[in-house]
Amino acid sequence: MSKNYSPIKAAAICSFTGHKLQVTHQVNDRIQELCCVKCGKQMTTNIYGNIVPLSDQYSRINRALNDLAVKKNRRELGIYS
Ligand SMILES: [Zn+2]
């Protein structure tokens, strides 16, 4: 890591060049949590398909949606618990 590196600088570069987002968690078939490999900023897609910063609220929504997706998958596979 160069001594000139700082997260603030990385975020500033991202504001010019755009974030380089990588999927960190697939919540359900439409919603993903993403992380920028350059500045580490966490983002998520919302129900409208827009990419928004991952807030506490979105994090809770995503957890609930993920629980539903898991239950739905189990039902489709015929696994009851
Ligand atoms: Zn970034």
Tens digit of each residue's pLDDT (9 = 90 or more) over 29-72: 999 999 999 999 999 999 899 999 999 999 999 999 999 999 99
Read off the pLDDT of residues 3-28 as tens digits, 9 standing for 90 and up: 666 878 888 889 899 999 999 999 99
- C-alpha 12 – ligand 1 centre gap (Å): 8
Query: Can you give the pTM of this predicted structure?
Result: 0.77
Domain boundaries, the chain: 7-77
- C-alpha 75 – ligand 1 centre gap (Å): 38
- C-alpha 56 – ligand 1 centre gap (Å): 19
Is the Cβ–Cβ distance between 58 and 64 less than 8 Å? no
3-state secondary structure of 78: coil
How would you write 10-59 as a 3-class SS string?
Answer: HHHHHHHHCCCEEEEEECCCCCEEEEECCCCCEEEECCCCCEEECCHHHH
Q: Using CA atoms in the order 20, 34, 47, 68, what is the torsion angle rounded to 10 degrees?
A: 160
